[in-house]
Structure 1
Amino acid sequence: MFENQPKGLWALALANTGERFGYYTMLAVFLLYLQANFGFQTGVASTIYSTFLMMVYFLPIIGGIAADKFGFGKMVTTGIFIMFIGYLVLSLPLGKDSVAIAAMGISLILIALGTGLFKGNLQVMVGRLYDEPQFASNRDSGFSLFYMAINIGAMFAPTAAIKIMKWAQMSLGVSEADSYHFAFAVACASLILSIAIYYAFSSTYKHVLANETKAKSDDPAAKAEVKELSQAETKERIVCLCLVFAVVIFFWMAFHQNGNTLTLFARDFTQKTSEGLQSMAFDVTNLVACIFVVYGSFALAQSKTGKGKGIAFGVILAAIAFLFYKYTTLDSHVDIEAPIFQQFNPCYVVALTPVSVALFSWLNKKGKEPTSPEKIGLGMLVAALGFVWMAVCSMGLELPLTQGNAATEGARVSANVLISTYLILTFAELLLSPIGISFVSKVAPPKYAGLMMGLWFGATAIGNQLVMVPGIMWGMNFNLVTIWGVLAGICLVSALFIFSIIKKLNKVS
């Protein structure tokens, strides 16, 4: 799984890990912050949340165009510094008046702009690492590993947000509304780490930037090394990519309910305490131990030396011993904060990536591995299944009564409902997101690489803007089964569309 991967992959992945940790720390509590600090109603808060997500994923189009002209490396570093300023403004406790709202809006614009310059262009650089013949066959697995690495940052984000907020309230005596700013300050620190990694290990990917400069030179021999496509080929590839982008819109509309209606469901309809074995799932260190068991098992199976097998076996035993100790020292119950559920998706991504890579490697050897477009279609089907499960589990629950008002609470369900839903949606994500990014980096015409990656994020942006639709339905007291049913139906129709044009997509992949 880790063999025959370019060294630059790990440098770029870790740089993205730091940035994603800060981003998801902020995102884990952002919707709740809007209601706690400004008193916004659910529909208004959901619209602000989705609009911000839209900007984050729309502006990579601008970032891609800029990178095609000025260079990917320059845009990546510029983006980090702009993001830092945005998070810094957001971390300032400016109150609840119109000035504070305006400052929040400015900070969101800066964060979105910085992300637009950073995110897509960094991933184009990752794709360029696999243009070398010795790495070309590992493009899909490489992007899966890249995706896994950046989710390590997201995995710890909800816990970081909750812990820093509780520390601020208990140690410094700040109010709950003001404690959110401490979570936003974590993002500032994470960007410092991100830029440090990016520069410290630049030697591992500098040839990508060198080739980029070479291709932009006036030397005919240098330009000849860049593969040129005919006008017809270029058009065919762009059309196919745009068809995939159309489907991606609806995946992200559904998937990014994690910070919207799924968080509201956690707050309003999920049990507030947990006990026994289930409670261990809400301690991120236990999840990390489980991940060590998974990776240790793969290392044990794949190691070619006795020493390697011994180390892997030791890691497994240590992780199991840690889990046993934590189980024997459990509290009678643990309190469950709504944002903590957002840790499950990245944890699942990290744990299941080696399983996914191993499965598709095995299918590849048998000549039965699905193509990238087929994986995207399967991802949409799995996403539909996730919301069908939510609809089933929501049957019999009253309409969303609370709207943030604890005095009007209704029935609550087991935390296992959301834990299992995030597992299903993670399977969908692993089939669609890293594979989709790999598909774009492979199929995009070379001279439009930045623009095409930007359009991938542009499609994601539209989907993120549509995230507000279920939130508005929630605020209008739509039945829960209806809300989840709409999302399931959208995913199912998108899957059927992908499979209806699969031959066209496979032709260019």
Structure 2
Amino acid sequence: MFEGQPKGLYALALANTGERFGYYTMLAIFTLFLQAKFGYTAAETSTIFGSFLGFVYFMPLIGGILADRFGYGKMVTSGIVVMFLGYTLLAIPTGADITGKAMMFGALALISCGTGLFKGNLQVMVGNLYDNPQLSGKRDTAFSLFYMAINVGALFAPTAATKVTNYVLAGSHFTYEPQIPSLAHQFLDGTIKPDGNVLLEQLKAAQGFTGDMATFCTTYIEQLSKAYNYGFAVACISLIISMAIYVAFRSTFKHADVNNKQKVQSGSIDAQADELSPADTRQRIIALLLVFAVVIFFWMAFHQNGLTMTFFARDYTAKSVMGFDRLGFDVLNLVLAVVAVYSAFSFFQSKTSKGKGISGVLLVAAVIGIAANYHTMDGEVKILPQIFQQFNPFFVVALTPVSLAVFSYLARKGKEPSAPRKIGFGMLIAACGFMILAVASLGLPTPTTVQTEGIADNLLVSPNWLISTYLVLTFAELLLSPMGISFVSKVAPPKYKGMMMGGWFVATAIGNYLVAIIGYLWGDMQLWMVWSVLIVCCLLSALFIFSIMKRLEKVS
């Protein structure tokens, strides 16, 4: 898996890991922040969240066009600086007035622009490492490893956000209670209903607050908002680390920081010889556009993790776990599980007794570590809604070697599916993921009912429903995302590489903007019907890509 990969892959992957850690720390709490601080409704939050994600993934098109002209490296370093400014603005505590909103939206604009300069161009450089014919066969594996590194950063992000939230609230003698922000805004706005008022009084007493209700509501909102601001500051630190890695190890990938224009100017390629015919160029671009059309609906479904799936975690999922269920809610256990998986693979793949011995020791140590940590955990572990977002990156990191092993075996047998076919299978699996949530949601009250009246503890569902959904969606993601990026880097006409990689992100941007549509349904509609919309979208997308499979495989 790691054998024979160029050093530049690891340098670029680690630089991206730092940036993604900060981004996903921010994303884990972003929708919660919008509703807690500003009192936005689910529909308003969905619009802001979807628009932000849309711009984050649209701007790589602009970044790619600029990189095709000025160079990839310049755009990457500029992007880190711009993102840092954005996260700094977002980390500054403000009021919920017009100034606070202006700073928040300004921060989102800077983060979007900076990501546009950074994200796609870094991935183009990864692809460029494998333009050498001797390395071209390792391209798909490289992008799987690169994607795994992204998720290493994302794995720790929800825990970082949770730790900061709990620390700041504890400083004011508060604990996190998901129903307080909404009820507090209703009280301050004068829209709270009698049942909600009774519930808010009970929650206030449980927090040990002795002042009047208005002071409690204002103070709790201010402290929770500040906790989220400090969580955003984590992203600033992670970007400094990312920049340090990128600059320190630039020598390992400097040769990949060359666009087509620079290659022609240096004489390393013949512009005429390297250029495809107009017909071939058109055929490749059309194939890419067809794939882009399909992945729109995957990202529309997948990125519900930061919106409606977070709402589901907050409003409908048990607030604590006991027994073996506690294992997954300590990031140390997840890290040890990853070590165990990789040690097991290394044990069976090692060709020397020394390698097998080291791998065996690590495997046993990881299992013992998990058992020891389990016995030292509290009997009951409280859950904050953002913590569920650690399961997707955990599954990506843990399952990447499994995925690579399976496809390596199929490749040796000459039966490995093409990248477009993997994307089609990914869409089918994504539909299965939301079927799990649809079943879990049967008989639950609507979100509007929960917002105004609360929900009885006996109706809260097991966290395992959400965890299972994340597991299935991860299988879909591993088939679709890294394979899609690899497909773009391989099929894109040389002189349009930056633009086509940007096109992949535009498709992602459209899908992310459409995330808001599901948020608009989050109100009076039954939950199983909300998830069914996503199931239908995934199934139709799978049907479409399989219908054009021959055309896609012709150019891949």
Q: Is 1:184 equivalent to 2:235 in the alignment?
A: no
CA distance in 1, matches of 2:150, 2:24: 11
Pick from 184, 191, 197: which aligns with 2:245? 197
Q: Which residue of 1 aligns with 2:51?
A: 51
| Counterpart in the other structure of 1:162 | 162
Does the CA-based 8 Å contact 1:56-1:112 persist in structure 2?
yes
Equivalent in 395, 400, 410 of residue 447 of structure 2:
400
SS of 1:125's equivalent? helix
Q: Alpha-carbon deviation of 1:402?
A: 5.3
- TM-score calculated relative to the size of structure 2: 0.89
Shift of residue 51, structure 1, vs aligned partner: 0.6
The answer to whether structure 1 residue 495 and structure 2 residue 542 are counterparts is: yes
One-letter amino acid of the structure 2 residue matched with residue 336 of structure 1: I
> Given residue 41 of structure 2, which amino acid in structure 1 is its aligned partner?
Q
Q: Which residue of 2 aligns with 1:135?
A: 135
Query: Which of 450, 464, 484 is the matching residue for 1:436?
Result: 484
**Cα offsets for 1:326-360 (capped at 9, x unmatched):** 22223221111110000000000000000000100
- Alignment partners' CA distance in 1, 2:32 and 2:5: 40
- In the other structure, the counterpart of 1:274 is 321
Distance 1:397 1:199, change over 3 A: same
CA offsets 1:209-261 (integer angstroms, 9 cap, x no match): 257574151x5564349721000000000000000000010000000000011
The residue aligned with 1:260 is 307
Offset at residue 172 of structure 1 (A): 7.0
Aligned to 2:78: 78
Confirm or deny that 1:415 pairs with 2:460: no
C-alpha separation in 1, matches of 2:434 and 2:136: 36
Whole-Å separation in 1 of the counterparts to 2:270 and 2:94: 52
Query: Match of 1:32?
Result: 32
2:257 is paired with a residue of what secondary structure? helix
The answer as to whether partners of 2:321 and 2:380 remain within 8 angstroms in 1 is: yes
Question: In the alignment, residue 367 of structure 2 is paired with which amino acid?
Answer: I
Distance in 1 (CA, whole Å) between partners of 2:493 and 2:79 is 24
Alignment of 1:236 onto 2:279: no
Aligned positions of 1:46-445 closer than 5 A: 46-171=46-171, 175-210=223-258, 214-217=262-265, 222-224=269-271, 227-401=274-448, 404=451, 407-409=454-456, 411-445=459-493
TM-score (norm 1): 0.97
- Structure 1 distance, partners of 2:140, 2:272, is 24
Q: In 2 relative to 1, CA 43–347 (structure 1 residues): closer, same or farther, beyond 3 Å?
A: same
The alignment yields a C-alpha RMSD, in angstroms, of 1.5
Name 2:180's counterpart in structure 1. none
Change (3 A) 1:231 1:175: same
The 2-side partners of 1:155 and 1:66 are apart by 31
Alignment partners' CA distance in 2, 1:349 and 1:11:
20
Report the secondary structure of 2:447's partner residue.
Answer: coil
Q: Secondary structure at the match of 2:359?
A: helix
Moved over 6 A (4+): none
Q: Give yes or no for contact 1:474–1:483 (8 Å, CA) kept in 2.
A: yes
| Cα distance in 2 for residues equivalent to 1:211 and 1:399 | 52
Relative to structure 1, the CA distance from residue 133 to residue 406 in structure 2 (aligned partners, 3 Å threshold; closer, same or farther) is: farther
CA gap 1:226/1:350 in 2 versus in 1, 3 angstroms: farther
- How many residues align? The count is 507
Change over 3 Å in CA distance of 1:137–1:177 after alignment to 2: same
Contact 1:71-1:212 at 8 Å conserved across structures: no
Q: 1:17 to 1:402 in 2, by over 3 A?
A: farther
How far apart, CA to CA, are the structure 1 residues paired with 2:283 and 2:384? 49
Aligned equivalents of 1:118, 1:275: Cα separation in 2: 42
Pick closer, same or farther for the CA change 1:72–1:216 going to 2, 3 Å.
Answer: farther
CA spacing shift, 1:220–1:156, aligned 2, 3 Å: closer
Task: Render the CA deviation track for 1:30-75: whole Å, top value 9, x for unaligned.
Answer: 0000011111111101110111000000011100110011111100
Measured in 2, the distance between the counterparts of 1:284 and 1:463 equals: 30
Tell which deviates more after alignment, 163-172 or 227-236.
163-172
CA contact (8 A) 1:268 1:409 kept: no
Shift of 1:397: 1.4
Unmatched runs of 5 consecutive residues or more in structure 1:
none
Tell me the distance in 2 between the aligned counterparts of 1:295 and 1:507: 36
Q: Radius of gyration: which is bigger?
A: 2
Please name the residue that 2:521 is paired with.
473
Native 8 Å contact 2:68 2:259 kept in 1: no
Q: Is the 8 A contact 2:69 2:261 kept in 1?
A: no
Kept in 2, the 8 Å contact 1:248–1:460? The answer is: yes
